[in-house]
Structure 1
């Protein structure tokens, strides 16, 4: 068996097709035919199904929009080395092999010539240490967990819908669904925070008193603190709908998810901030290759900010909700002006590369 065959079979067995496509800069990576076919868009293309790789040991591949047929090596040759003819792809085969083996750390298959070339061009004496640190960091992120609180804690806050939010349009039914209560000691409307498994990990409070300093600087605080950066608020409720719709709407604040849920958009989750952590990025990737992501940030985040934030989630189909018609004001969330405005923004979302 040739090295090329061994490499293809190893990529298949180790389930690294999506990793290769992501490293090539492809977008909208997903599967079809019950996982038997990987599809993606070319880095500079508009067709989400242009690149197709069969999930078999041979890794038979096509770039449909360019009329290219071959294997995963031909996909690499076209994207990285602009090999748009069969002759050019044959000529760049060694470079494509080297690139793949280097990316996937299949170093035993790299030709001696290219080994020497790589060592001369990029001497990295501490490369092993950097990789070890990256691996440890990822393991730490994946193993981090919040302390689980007893559900009995909620009894001291009760189930007390807030009239002010009701007058704004947040129904009593929705407030009960999200566990809205009250902490009379701190003049705060409360609501529970759960992890991805639906376990209670914190209580958040929104100030409703008449002290302007507290209202300005401490509007929201955690009465029972938790590490919000390793979870998405509302993920436990949204997950079944995300899996069904193959779509996740990512917003900044928990209250935005309440309105979206009330309006039928139950596939929504909140960062609880304006920038995703590394753990949150890992969580998004676990939702599946075929899930598309809609980033609907507040008005004060411009298109450049949202695009850069979304670009950190590599290899997935991404859209941004941008207010290009002046429908929102200043720091409005995308739900602050009502259901009709939200639906207009959602229907006119833009693809992010």
Structure 2
């Protein structure tokens, strides 16, 4: 059996970077305190908010995902976000094989106490029924914020009335736009902050759960869909949903379509089984994944390496979208919006250019069907 502790301790920073690159993370950034910041492959996101602390070889994702753990935890989470189930033992073998450290076996002197401790540690990876009950926070915390819609969002296409409806506010102490997160029943299950300070933005802290008086107002995005407390009636009525990555996209959609808006957001680029179940329970017969554009244009160039890199990235993005849509395919018609006409820019959401562009993209939506076992 592989020695998990010896394997973890043997991994150099270069090993960690290679593993993360293999999992789909782009080149890491360096934090102001020397941390290494990777893309959030733990939940299928694209932002650099997954911090690696070399001194104790641990990771923490500073999004609503909130995962904390070692490289094995990250491998399992990343694989699950890509649609593959992986056990802890499989993650050990994956890391060991990738780094050429398959000879790090458990010592023959392994004691009964060692084994007992390891079994207790391993037990946390056993599959258990998912608890979909989110933590509910005290409504009084909302009094901390100024209840004013933000002018910059109005300029981006989110109306004053829409921001009021979605309770957008401002936290003066940290210079952040506040975005309350409510479940389908209207209970407060988290609060996200949109940073306005250049220091936060430069360090990859654009969107973060708020922490006030040592309380972290986080919500597990894999168990939660943003906006359903407002758009669920339309989703039930029209039996369709359009799924965005972020809260602002839902608000832009509502600004355009009002009470006919069927928008919701997954809080990143990953679709979980719970997301599927929540929308199936609402009776959807059609879903459209309207994720941010990740496809990079391949311009005329003689740099074959650059071309291959972009082609690989585009292929991975198409695969990721297909895998997300395939989770819905057994239950309803599942489509993806994939901008091949260059109507939106890199990192833009399909709604960012307004109604006309969104509806043009909808004309070309791609039907995704379940693959058979032989595919």
**1:352: which partner in 2?**
368
**1:259: which partner in 2?**
252
What SS class does the counterpart of residue 164 from structure 2 fall into?
helix
The alpha carbon displacement at 1:152 in A equals 1.8
How many aligned positions are there? 215
**1:269: which partner in 2?**
264
| Between structures 1 and 2, the one with greater helix share | 1
The alpha carbon displacement at 1:217 in A equals 0.5
- Asked if 1 retains the 8 angstrom alpha-carbon contact of 2:176 and 2:196, the reply is yes
Gaps of at least 5 residues in structure 1 are: 1-132
Tell me the alpha carbon deviations over residues 150-195 of structure 1, each in whole angstroms, 9 at most, x when there is no partner. Answer: 2221111131111111122221111111111111111100010011
- Asked if 2 retains the 8 angstrom alpha-carbon contact of 1:250 and 1:295, the reply is yes
Q: How far apart in 1 are the matches of 2:352 and 2:329?
A: 30
> Which of 188, 193, 197 does residue 176 from structure 2 map onto?
188
**1:298: which partner in 2?**
292
TM (norm. structure 2) is 0.54
**1:279: which partner in 2?**
274
Q: How does 1:163-202 map to 2 (within 5 A)?
A: 163-202=151-190
Tell me the alpha carbon deviations over residues 208-253 of structure 1, each in whole angstroms, 9 at most, x when there is no partner. Answer: 1232x53450000011212222110112211110111110111111
The alpha carbon displacement at 1:278 in A equals 2.7
Q: Are residues 1:309 and 2:309 paired?
A: no
- Asked if 2 retains the 8 angstrom alpha-carbon contact of 1:207 and 1:215, the reply is no
**1:42: which partner in 2?**
none
Q: How far apart in 1 are the matches of 2:145 and 2:236?
A: 33
**1:214: which partner in 2?**
201
What SS class does the counterpart of residue 293 from structure 1 fall into?
strand
- Asked if 2 retains the 8 angstrom alpha-carbon contact of 1:239 and 1:267, the reply is yes
Q: How far apart in 1 are the matches of 2:198 and 2:146?
A: 22
The alpha carbon displacement at 1:349 in A equals 1.6
Q: How far apart in 1 are the matches of 2:139 and 2:285?
A: 32
Q: How far apart in 1 are the matches of 2:186 and 2:277?
A: 18
Instruction: Give me the CA root mean square deviation.
Output: 2.0
**1:203: which partner in 2?**
191
Tell me the alpha carbon deviations over residues 328-350 of structure 1, each in whole angstroms, 9 at most, x when there is no partner. Answer: 11111111222221121123322
Q: How does 1:109-188 map to 2 (within 5 A)?
A: 137=127, 140-141=129-130, 143-188=131-176
Q: How far apart in 2 are the matches of 1:185 and 1:146?
A: 27
**2:237: which partner in 1?**
244
Q: How does 1:323-334 map to 2 (within 5 A)?
A: 323-334=339-350
Q: How far apart in 1 are the matches of 2:192 and 2:250?
A: 15
- Asked if 1 retains the 8 angstrom alpha-carbon contact of 2:157 and 2:255, the reply is no
Q: How far apart in 1 are the matches of 2:158 and 2:289?
A: 22
Q: How far apart in 1 are the matches of 2:277 and 2:242?
A: 16
**Structure 1 runs of 4+ with >6 Å offset:** none
- Asked if 2 retains the 8 angstrom alpha-carbon contact of 1:242 and 1:291, the reply is no
- Asked if 1 retains the 8 angstrom alpha-carbon contact of 2:293 and 2:344, the reply is yes
**1:226: which partner in 2?**
219
**1:108: which partner in 2?**
none
Tell me the alpha carbon deviations over residues 48-74 of structure 1, each in whole angstroms, 9 at most, x when there is no partner. Answer: xxxxxxxxxxxxxxxxxxxxxxxxxxx
Q: How far apart in 2 are the matches of 1:185 and 1:168?
A: 24
